Amino acid sequence: MTHYAHLQVEIRGHTAQVTIDNPPANTWNRASLNALKQLVADLNADDNIYALVITGSGSKFFSAGADLNLFADGNKLVATEMTMLFGEAFEALAAFRGVSIAAINGYAMGGGLECALACDIRIAEVQAQMALPEAAVGLLPCAGGTQQLPWLVGEGWAKRMILCGERVDADTAERIGLVEEVVGQGQALEAALKLAEKVARQSPSSVKVCKQLVQRARIEPPGYNLIHEREQFIKLFDTADQQEGVQAFLAKRSPQWHNR
């Protein structure tokens, strides 16, 4: 078990299991945001890691977001520092070269939900509640919420959650596309780890490029990305994984990936 500030990390095969551990509500602060950024950098440098699963400690909170005590005195310098830390940490998570899965085991509020939004896939337990309530306290989601949420659920639901402060339960979240799966209480981590095992069957070199292509679709026109897609296909022939994958298939054996 490796410990970062307020984050517990356990390596399970090719998966890094990350637990947000800052009771009672698993809030984010300077130390944990810096730790998350460093953790993702460390995982990116480890060729043995293909997936990341993040969940909250305890049974009530995934994460309640920022510690509002940081903003109680209206200090703009603190606000500037924190918004940069939030942005850098969750953008690093979104850019993780493997597959990231949020196992939402309880309340995911504000920056807690933004952490889940930065992941590739979200699995929520049936009792989970999700919201971006920042406007209710005179703030706004500053760690990607205004950009990531409408991409997943559409502008209408994004406005309901951000502008009206509407909280959604797990079933609603699945219906509107905020999460991909709902499981029973206490089952999100297991479901996420099982999904991560499927990632390990894929070529990590291919997964990295495919993820980049999917995410580029948000900001670049299809005409450009279709050309880029073909270019990246050809570049995969420079990797050891491409040769291993095809040869393993033809030999009817399981591939041994090199992540290069």
Instruction: Please check the confidence at residue 149 and state whether its pLDDT lies above 70.
Output: yes
186-195 pLDDT, tens digit each = 999 999 999 9
What is the identity of the amino acid at 10?
A: E
| Catalytic site positions | 114, 134
Q: What is the tens place of the pLDDT at every residue in 7-47?
A: 999 999 999 999 999 999 999 999 999 999 999 999 999 99
Strand 2-4 to strand 15-20: parallel, antiparallel, or no bridges (unpaired)? unpaired
For residue 2, pLDDT beyond 80: no
pLDDT of residue 1: 52
Q: At 152, phi and psi to the nearest 5?
A: -85, -45
Confidence band of 73 (pLDDT split at 50, 70, 90): confident
Render pLDDT for 232-252 as a digit per residue (tens, 0 to 9).
Answer: 988 999 999 998 888 888 898
pLDDT of residue 72: 79
Task: List, for residues 159-186, the tens digit of each pLDDT value.
Answer: 999 999 999 999 999 999 999 999 999 9
Q: Which of 119-128, 206-215, 231-240 has the highest mean pLDDT?
A: 119-128
Q: How far apart are CA 15 and CA 206, in angstroms?
A: 17
Banded pLDDT at 220 (limits 50, 70, 90): confident
* Position 3 pLDDT exceeds 80: no
Comparing 223 with 44, the larger pLDDT belongs to 44
Exposure on the CB side of residue 232, measured as CA atoms within 13 A: 17
122 by Cβ neighbours in 10 Å (0-12 / 13-18 / 19+) ranks as buried
Instruction: Answer with the residue of higher pLDDT: 254 or 185.
Output: 185
116-139 mean pLDDT: 96
| Cβ–Cβ under 8 Å, residues 147 and 126 | no
What is the pLDDT averaged over residues 209-227?
Answer: 88
Lookup: tokens for 249: 């298939």
Mean pLDDT within 52-71: 93
